[in-house]
Chain A
Amino acid sequence: MAQLVSLSKAIAETVHDGMSVALEGFTHLIPFAAGHELLRQGRRELELIRMTPDILYDQMIGVGAARKLVFSYGGNPGVGSLHRFRDAIEHGWPMPIEVEEHSHAGMANRYVAGASKLPFMVMRGYAGTDLPAHTNVKPVVCPFTGEQLMAVPALNPDVSIVHAQEADRDGNVQLWGIPGVQKEAVLAAGASVVTVERIVEQLQPRPGGVVIPGWVIDYVAQAPGGSQPSYALGVTERDNDFYREWDLISRDREQFQEWMTEHGLNSVPTTTPAPA
């Protein structure tokens, strides 16, 4: 049953150095506040999982919080490159990063397998490209038709973190707008944290609303504006200007570090608190 706690407590209780952590949200509802809290707490050596690393993972990679990245599209949507992501892969700065990449369909199905507690999902894809030689997929034959298909392994992050518009006092969560893979990420994870714009007395059904019941969530924390510069439909707007500005901020190592320090996101790594 979800506990309503502060964001700092939710992160401190769940995320420890070396863990695999998925912060999901497909362009919409990206959990920036939670990712930033993770940096403030000085977490390091993380295996970061996310379909679209976006600015949030660019920041986390740029301060050296990640040892591995699992992803399917590492660009600044509509703007261009993620410069910190590129610098880490191209030049090993500030530290080398291991990369495991998939297609969107592959990542989505890996989450579905994880949420289903199945070892893999099956799909048509990857075949005939250079991806299989560089990533973790295996051909499989359909036992009914003999068709050659591709198996993608389940993704079961130690911790999944997502952002939503609202939760009630029992920790039942509702999100609406682009739903991405957030439900799958929560159900696939060992532990989950949901940050929300607001706590309400009762969830009101919304068109296209996705409800995640409190009894499959570990912690719910209120974080108003917690997905900015991404957005929460109906509450905040995507800060497209910041996405463009980030291109300039992140291009240069020193300028990036200054920006991160100025925003309190360049914490010195601390010892991991003992798991509760």
Chain B
Amino acid sequence: MSTNSEYSNGELQTIVAARSLAGKRSCFIGVGRPSTAALLARMVHNPKLVLVYESGTIGAKPYHVPLSIGDGELAETADLVVSVPEMFNYWIGPGRVQVAFLGAAQVDPQANLNSTVIGEYEHPKTRLPGAGGAPEIATGCAEVVVIAPHSTRTFVKQLDFKTTRGERTTRVITDLGVLEPVAGELTLTTLHPDVRVEQVRENTGWDLKIADNVQVSDAPSAQELAALRELVAR
């Protein structure tokens, strides 16, 4: 964990996620950190990146980080606004959106996701919001990037409920590092600066495989950090 640097691990997570959108054509995003990362990517790496929100706004160019996926600014700045059936049947299903950013309450070693329940389905300990658009987004988009906090609560060996399939997941970006599928199993490939391998293992609920050559994420550049802070302060 970076203790003496001038940025938080959360900021770094957002910045690393934004970097993964360099050179991409379009990205499907939900609210929260994914949305912040995608807006940051448009500011720093990829001004032409097409942002797609499941509310039907395609090519949205919000100035502020939206609270909901249906904020007015998204519709007002979009290239086109479509109905929900059109969004899923014409745009997501046929694979017209290249990358998807997804979050989840639980992630398993195959990058399958749970956003439905913790505990038994019929008598859940915690009822989560449910599937939303995720299942079809994860099978429609060519690449899925999962953004999640790194803890044993989130990274579990066995999901309580499989909401979303993980086959298309190319990266899982956490506040500690990056996991990528190697031979079908999420493997630690990148550590954030000042994070130790042991720390990542301790925060993963299975015996995490470690890549032979673990890379270290570049620390945020002055430009990235300034842009992120300016964006969040808007």
Q: Taking beta carbons and an 8 Å cutoff, which residues of A are in contact with B?
A: 26-28, 51-52, 71-75, 77-79, 81-82, 85-86, 89-90, 101-105, 107-109, 111-112, 123-126, 128-131, 134, 177-181, 183-184, 208, 210, 231, 233, 237-238, 240, 243
Contacts and interface: CB of A to CB of B under 8 A. Distances in A.
Contact of A109 (B67, B85, B131): B85
Nearest to B70: A27
Contact of A105 (B88, B126, B129, B165): B88
Contact of B72 (A51, A210, A233): A233
Residue of B72, B76, B133, B165 with most partner-chain A CB within 10 A: B72
Given A129-B164, A181-B83, A183-B83, A78 B67 contact: yes
A181 B161 CA distance: 27
B161 to A, nearest CB: 5
A179 B125 contact: no
The secondary-structure label for the interface of chain A is: loop
Contacts of A210: 83
B32 A78 contact: yes
8 closest A-B pairs by beta carbon, nearest first, are A27-B70, A75-B129, A77-B68, A73-B132, A105-B88, A78-B67, A105-B136, A108-B85
Interface of B: 31-32, 54-57, 66-72, 74-76, 80-85, 87-89, 92-93, 116, 121, 124-136, 139-140, 161-165
B68 A78 contact: yes
A109 B31 CA distance: 24
B124 A125 contact: no
Contacts of A238: 67-68, 70-72
Contacts of A231: 72
B39 to A, nearest CB: 14
A79 B165 contact: no
B130 A71 contact: yes
A85 B84 contact: no
